[in-house]
Amino acid sequence: MHDATFERLWGDPHPVGALSWKEIARLGEPGVRVPRLADLLELSATTKVPLVLDQKDAAAGAAAARLVERVGPEHTAFCGATEGLLDIRRMLPHATIFCNDSGLRTPDLRVLGRDATAVLQPALARAVARPGAGAARRSGSR
């Protein structure tokens, strides 16, 4: 569930963590219910339509990663909070992870994985060390 409550999609103001699955399963209308992640992962694997799981909580991200690991990660990617992404990277070293931070700061390279970090870290260090590199970009000149 992307939202903190069921209000926007299901008309229920309760926080996601406050309801049992039995209560969640009754939300909506017949034929239009809150799906379980396992069902979405199965549908994704069958149809080859990718899923991007945006986790905002490290515990929820880890639980999703465990489920993805059982079902198969071929059509699943993750994005969201850095701490959760770090856990996911440790659990699923080859997972696809999108860095969707809205700021302009460099993402935590550990999220990218060992191979990417080995390549990117020296390049980023060189870019940051260049005198005037940031000022030239900000002014629009090259």
Residue 142 has pLDDT above 50, yes or no: no
Identity (one letter) of the amino acid at 68?
A: V
Strands 76-80 and 51-55: parallel
**CA-CA distance, 18 to 42, in Å (whole number)?**
26
The pTM assigned to this predicted structure is 0.68
pLDDT per residue as tens digits for the range 30-83: 888 888 999 999 999 899 999 999 988 888 889 999 999 988 778 899 988 888
Question: 86, 41, 45: which is closest to 64 by C-alpha?
Answer: 41
Q: What is the mean pLDDT of residues 82-107?
A: 80
Count CB-CB contacts under 10 A for residue 132.
8
**CA-CA distance, 78 to 44, in Å (whole number)?**
14
